[in-house]
Structure 1
Amino acid sequence: MAPRRMEEIPVKRMPALGCRLASRLPRGEILTDITQNKWRLGDAIGCGGFGDIYLASDDLTKPVGYNSKYVIKIEPHNNGPLFVEMNVYIRALRKPMIESWCKSQGKRRVGVPTYEGSGSHVYQGERYRFLVIPRYAGDVGKLFIAHGRKLSTKIVNSLAVQMLDSLEYVHSQGYAHADVKGSNILLANNSLGLEIEKTKAFLVDYGLAYRFRTGTGAHKPFLHDERRAHEGTMEFTSRDAHHGTHSRRGDLETLGYNLLQWLCGKLPWENEEGGLSPTVNPEDIHVQKEIFFSDVLLSMQQCFSGKNKAPDNLTEYFQYISRLGFESKPNYSYLRSLFWKGSQLEENILAYVNGGISNENFFCIKLDNRPYLRERKPCRPVNGDVRITRNAQPIIPKKVLEFSWEEVLARHPDKLAKISVHPPPSPLTPPPSPPPIQKTPSLPTYAMLNVLQKMKERQTGICRHKTTSKSSDNELKPKWMTPAMEEIAQLRKRSLELIAQSRKSGSDNSRRLTRSRSATLKRLESNSLAKLDAKKRKTFA
């Protein structure tokens, strides 16, 4: 069924907070992308808070019909989401990149759109940014409403497996989608019949995508960011997104909320008819999600109370997310196996769970009860006659180790003391405390004793002199005096000695100290002091 014209759809265009909507572009407008490919616009088939979506075609010779294979998203240059989305498409969603990844993973397809073109366009003096992507049919959100707010288990399982494939690819390129919801999951055809579970689904809208890897390939740490707190659609926002950060586990958590809503009809924090109140506090929703993950089993029973039993696969899905670390790489193969019906992996689910969570390494499990999955060993002949195959290896009995005191006592005592007697630490017990540090070595060498003696003498203030031939003047003189200052001090000392000697000689004589003799002594003292001052000024000049 062809979609109706935009004029027939009674939808009021409402701009997002901090953004504005541009004027509609006319039908038939020609746009040129960055690779000089030209695109013709058709009718507008959708609108959002940031821009509009138009039908488009690369055939410029005829008008764009409703069976066109492409759509173009257009928004003003001042808005930001389409700029982010264009970068994601150019960096991660080009067709050769998707084909190369599918080939390396052994997959026929992955549900992500491909990059077809992008660029800028000027219309009536206003600049627009546009992005060209393939056209798909209706979204899962409309399908959910059309089926009375309830989807069958078969449809949910099919969508879960396809979305896990899509998220695995997006995460492999270093991005988190950050806005997984039904309206962003598009179907390849618009059929609402019984074969809907076989329809191909595609994860679109990367306007809120978050690059969780740095330029060096390391995972960004967990940081609370008030600017991006509670970002996304509130019903499905992950606990990490409530803090303003995103990761791979946040996308898996958001997908889990969608799966739960499709099966139950509503989430625990939604109204009875679905949705949230416009005045709801985001912090209250965050608290309810934390309570949900505090006891997954009880929360799932409350969601399915009075109805069928809570699905075991969805319960285990949420339990796995509750154990997943912020920077840990999810085990996508195990999560897909939860939703595969009749899969051979269903009977080995416990083997996948054993060991918990993998961190940046693929979670590999050896299943010893499957002979065709055992470790491959080279064939080796026995006596040159009989050929032993991989599945017929000889059983070699293990040697039973017997305890012997003689072997223990025969060991070297130092090596025996190094053997740890503590049991291996468990995750529930703290590690053993380190041994105390000795203050002094048990057997110091002569050089160590000499160093210790010097340190002791330095602490007690004892200074050992290497030579004792120095004069008393040199020993008593301050170490901070320069040679010029020492010369001045010596002159001052000699003048004082002369004055003292003259006074002493005067006291020894029996002559009386007259006024003339006193004036002579003062004149000698003043002359010596004047010479000393002149010498000092000359030195420091």
Structure 2
Amino acid sequence: MPGPPRDKKRKARTKKKAAGRLVPLWQSVVPPLPDGTLLSGIFTMEKWRLGKSIGKGAYGEVYEAFSTAEEFSGSYAIKVEPISNGPLFCEIQCYLDVAFSNKINDWVKSHDLKYLAMPQFIDWGKNETSPSLQYCFLVMERFGDNIEKLFEEAGRKFGVKTVCYLALRILEALEFLHNSGYAHADIKGSNILTGYSQRDQVYLVDYGLSFVYQYSQGGHKPYTPDPGYCYGTLPFTSIDAHDGANPSRRGDLEILGYCLLEWSCGRLPWEDYIEDRSKVASLKRRYKDAPTDLMKDCFKGNVYPKYLQKYMECIYKLSYEETPKYNHLRQLFFKELKDNGMSDDGTGLDWISGGGGEG
């Protein structure tokens, strides 16, 4: 069990990251819903029974959920937010457009994957019984711990195999999401969850900031910066987001790169300036022009992983509307695994083995 000093450091980091969240926080909340509350799904027309609360986010609460319907006999969770809040409606729309099981299963089969780190859509609904209790809800698969928590428990350092595994799974999920016309815009450890029973699997969740980057008739929406608008979570958000431009594919890949760097070295160079948005943005722009300096500052002058530098260099070269070469990016991580005598087999991950920092 970690001692008090480490707990204090963890709380300080959590406070800093909370301060770094850039999306607006709605003030309305849904009062706690009693155990046993029945919710009626709009898509399945099934009844969902709430269990205990299993998590809270910036906008709402997550409960364990159960259905008496035979076809829904697994473990589920329900996210509840006020109808007046925007993010859950955005997330529901993304699920409806992207995450039906047949679409995900077809992608898994056609791309020869074991699974896809994209949650499947289950159901959604809303309650408008009284002015004081109006909320919408999303029924999801139930997942396990988030990667941010597991990262802390591993001593704030993941080893090569874990970093590469996470990179590969999230790249697969992003290619699928991007192919469907959406960008995620808020990739981070707390939005990546392990499977509930299969802890060697991970899933990219929370599509409350997801954005349709393509027009319905095709073509990428243009780069239109708005200096007064910024979104995401400050330590990881992209340079485009700092400029107030709409989310894009390259933005998602840049955000993922910052996550990979933090998981590899423990902290990002701008962490000390997390309450100064302009300073963080300035540092990110400087490092884009000098990726080697980014690596040196992340790893404090020690030997740094060249595969992560190559990844960041590839992302920094992307234009706003360019289709990323996902397979080329994945090959960087496959090669790193091979060079270290490892393989992408989902074993020996830091949160399963209990160790941190191999390799």
Which TM-score band applies after superposition, normalised by the shorter structure?
Answer: 0.7 to 0.9
Which consecutive residues of structure 2, in runs of 5 or more, have no partner in the other structure?
Answer: 1-13, 341-359
Quote the residue 1:170 is aligned against. Answer: 177
The answer to whether the 8 Å contact 2:142/2:196 transfers is: no
Deviation at 1:342, TM superposition (A): 7.1
What are the ranges of 5 or more consecutive residues in structure 1 without an aligned counterpart?
Answer: 1-10, 62-66, 347-541
Listed one character per residue, the Cα deviations across residues 443-481 of structure 1 (whole Å, up to 9, x for unaligned) are xxxxxxxxxxxxxxxxxxxxxxxxxxxxxxxxxxxxxxx
Determine if the alignment matches structure 1 residue 332 to structure 2 residue 329: no
The answer to whether the aligner puts 1:185 opposite 2:186 as a matched pair is no
Q: Return the match for 1:312 from 306, 310, 332.
A: 306
Q: Kindly report which structure 2 residues correspond to 1:345-424, keeping only aligned pairs within 5 A, or say none.
A: none
The answer (yes or no) to whether the contact 1:230–1:282 under 8 Å persists in 2 is: no
**CA distance, structure 2, for counterparts of residue 124 and residue 133 of structure 1:** 25
Instruction: Assess, with a 3 A threshold, how the Cα gap between structure 1 residues 153 and 283 changes in structure 2: closer, same or farther.
Output: same
1:149-203 residue CA offsets vs partner (Å, 9 max, x unmatched):
1111111011111110011011000000000000000011589xxxx7xx11100
1:234 touches 1:282 (CA, 8 Å); kept in 2? yes
Matched residues in 2 for 1:331 and 1:54: separation? Answer: 38
Counterpart for residue 49 of structure 1 = 58
Does the 8 A contact of 2:151 with 2:157 survive in 1?
yes
The letter of the residue matching 2:64 is: L
Instruction: Confirm or deny: 8 A CA contact 1:21 1:49 kept in the other structure.
Output: no
The separation in 2 between residues aligned to 1:236 and 1:141, in whole angstroms, is 13
* Cα distance in 2, alignment partners of residues 189 and 58 from structure 1: 17
TM-score (norm 2): 0.82
Matched, 1:17 2:11: no
Residues 46 and 69, structure 2, Cα contact 8 Å, conserved in 1: no
Give me the whole-angstrom Cα distance separating, in 2, the residues matched to 1:148 and 1:287: 29
Aligned to 1:130, the other structure's residue is in SS state strand
- The answer to which of 52-61 and 324-333 deviates more is 52-61
In structure 1, the partner of 2:269 is: 268
Task: Report the 3-state secondary structure (helix = DSSP H, G, I; strand = E; otherwise coil) of the residue aligned with 1:138.
Answer: strand
Q: Does residue 307 of structure 2 align to residue 300 of structure 1?
A: no
1:27 alignment counterpart: 35
Structure 2 CA distance, aligned partners of 1:162 and 1:258? 13
1:110 is paired with a residue whose SS is coil
Aligned residue number for residue 162 of structure 2: 155
Q: What's the offset of the Cα at 1:106?
A: 2.7
Overall identity of the aligned pairs, in %:
39
Tell which has more relative contact order, 1 or 2 (C-alpha 8 A, sep 6+).
Answer: 2
Query: Larger C-alpha radius of gyration, 1 or 2?
Result: 1
**Secondary structure, aligned partner of 1:151:** coil
Q: 1:44 to 1:123 in 2, by over 3 A?
A: farther
> Cα RMSD over matched residues?
2.7
- Post-superposition Cα deviations, 1:28-69, rounded to whole Å, max 9, x if no partner, equal 0111111311110001111122111010011289xxxxx961
Report the residue type matching 1:180 in the other structure. I
Q: Secondary structure at the match of 1:336?
A: helix
Deviations 1:403-435 (A, max 9, x none): xxxxxxxxxxxxxxxxxxxxxxxxxxxxxxxxx
- The one-letter code of the counterpart of 2:202 is A
Is 1:137–2:138 an aligned residue pair?
Answer: no
1:300-337 CA-to-partner distances (Å, cap 9, x unmatched) read: 12322343x11111010011111111111111111111
CA distance in 1 between counterparts of 2:29 and 2:336 reads: 50
Residue deviations 1:121-141 (CA, integer Å, cap 9, x gap)? 245552210000100100100
Alpha-carbon separation, structure 2, partners of 1:322 and 1:56: 42
Q: Could you say what secondary structure the match of 1:74 adopts?
A: strand
Alpha carbons of structure 1 residues 343 and 78: separation in structure 2 relative to 1, 3 Å: closer
Q: Alignment partner of 2:145: what SS?
A: coil
**Kept in 2: contact 1:337–1:345 (CA 8 A):** no
* Secondary structure at the counterpart of residue 88 of structure 2: helix
**1:60–1:327 distance in 2 versus 1, CA, 3 Å:** closer
Q: CA–CA distance in 2 between the matches of 1:42 and 1:60?
A: 16
Structure 1 pair 301/190, CA: closer, same or farther in 2 (3 Å)?
Answer: farther
> SS of 1:340's equivalent?
helix
Q: Which residue of 2 is the match for residue 231 of structure 1?
A: 231
* Match for residue 86 of structure 1 among 87, 92, 107: 92
Work out the CA distance in 2 between the residues paired with 1:342 and 1:268. 24
Name the CA distance, whole Å, in 2 between partners of 1:202 and 1:338.
Answer: 21
Helix, strand or coil for the counterpart of 1:240? helix
Of Structure 1 and Structure 2, the greater strand share is in 2
